[in-house]
Amino acid sequence: MPLPKVVPVGLHFRRREHFRTDQFIEFGEPIEIVDDMVPSAMVEAVQQGGWIEPPESTVHRLRDALQEQLPYLTPNASTWKEHRAVHLLAHAEAREQGKKLHTWEEEVLAARNVRDTWPGSSATFPPQPLGGERMAHASEAAELLETAGLDGRDLGAKGQVFRKASWGRVPSAVLSVVLFAALLPFSITSLGLQITLGRLLGDSTDEGLDARTSFQFLAAFFGSLLIWPVVAGLWTVLVYLNHEALASALGLSSSWLEVGGASPLLGLVLVFIACFPLFWASGKSFASAWDVWVDTRKAWTRFRFPAEEKTRLGRLLDKINS
């Protein structure tokens, strides 16, 4: 049996502490574990159901191999302020070429190219600050946007500071909101409980944002297995208790639950099963409506951006691309 390999993984999240954010996952070159890295004593211990620690030389060898790859799979910036500036530079350079970075993956790779080709930059750990007047201008512009809740995606085409709202998306946005409103009761009873559980678990830890996000992930992942069946059962009971009122409202026969002329049991089972795709659809509609809200809020922020700061931002962008 061949020995396993260590595969470095880069997890890129736009805002890792948010419930909904962009993500990009990439894999580095596998690191091989060769025979001389695994002593026979370790093999024998594992075969007998035990364990011994690997040799120090093996640990250091793997560590050094990982260290060569991991910086390229991370932001590799000295500060978050510098990280935001590098991403703004990536958008500004694309804008200067008449292009746009449409996805988070494109933005991450473009920012990496900016960082790796920066004059005087070197692959060191910890990373050294990127200097120069252009970086100072980019950092100032990025912080202007960050303060307003904006980023490089909000820049307009060359010659415009901000992009304009896309009115062509209004029909789909209205449809998303209408669908969300129609499925809101299902969203509140199913996903609402999951979100509450994730919030309570996340806020109960003092281990920082990463641990908080992990608890929220657990609630999201296992909540549908633990909470949805209970909520579906409650909805089924509610339908049974109000089946005559529902029949009257929908113009159905009072015996509509008696599928095939049998007892209402089969109909109630079908109602129970139908709850799960409804819960899933309510989650999708919630996400779409949330995106509409975020896009609308950012469009309003761009429209109401103070004229003085907008002029200042325009000057900084000109200096960045000069």
With tokens 């991370």, the residue in question is 74
Q: Report the percent of the chain where pLDDT is more than 70.
A: 98
Residue 158: helix, strand or coil by DSSP? coil
Pull the structure tokens for residue 56. Answer: 């120090």
Helix residue ranges, H only, the chain: 40-47, 56-69, 80-96, 104-116, 133-147, 170-182, 184-186, 192-203, 209-226, 228-241, 243-250, 264-303, 307-321
Examine the domain organization and report whether 134 and 176 are in the same domain.
no
Q: Please count the structural domains in the chain.
A: 3
**Domain end point (choices 47, 73, 99):** 73
Same domain, 18 and 114: no
Task: Tell me, yes or no, whether 192 and 152 share the same domain.
Answer: no
Residues 55 and 87 in one domain: no
Range of the structural domain that residue 209 is part of: 168-303
**d(C-alpha 7, C-alpha 62), whole Å:** 11
Same domain, 27 and 109: no
| Whether residue 187 sits in one domain with residue 248 | yes
Based on the fold, state whether residues 138 and 176 are members of the same structural domain. no
pLDDT tens digits along 37-87: 888 888 888 888 888 888 898 899 999 998 888 888 888 899 999 999 999
| Residue 188 and residue 141 share a domain | no
CA gap 67, 126 in Å, rounded: 11
Looking at 84-88, 169-173, 197-201, 286-290, which range is the least confident one? 197-201
pLDDT tens digit string along 263-316?
788 888 888 999 999 999 999 999 999 999 999 999 999 999 999 999 999 999
- Which of 206, 319, 199, 224 lies closest to 279, judged by CA? 224
Q: Is 172 in the same domain as 251? A: yes
- What is the structure's pLDDT at 260? 67
Q: How does residue 224 score in pLDDT terms, banded at 50, 70 and 90? A: confident
Mean pLDDT of 210-236: 84
Of 40, 73, 106, which residue sits at a domain end? 73
Of 31, 51, 73, the last residue of a domain is: 73
* CA–CA dist 78, 59 (Å, integer): 26
The answer to whether 201 and 216 have CB atoms below 8 angstroms apart is yes
Say if residue 132 is in the same domain as residue 20: no
Say if residue 21 is in the same domain as residue 126. no
Mean pLDDT calculated for residue range 108-114: 95
Q: Kindly state whether residues 214 and 299 are assigned to the same domain.
A: yes
Helix (H, G, I), strand (E, B) or coil at 322: coil
Dihedral sign (CA 118, 120, 125, 126)? negative
Q: Can you give the pLDDT at residue 210?
A: 66
Q: Are strands 31-32 and 5-6 parallel, antiparallel or unpaired?
A: antiparallel
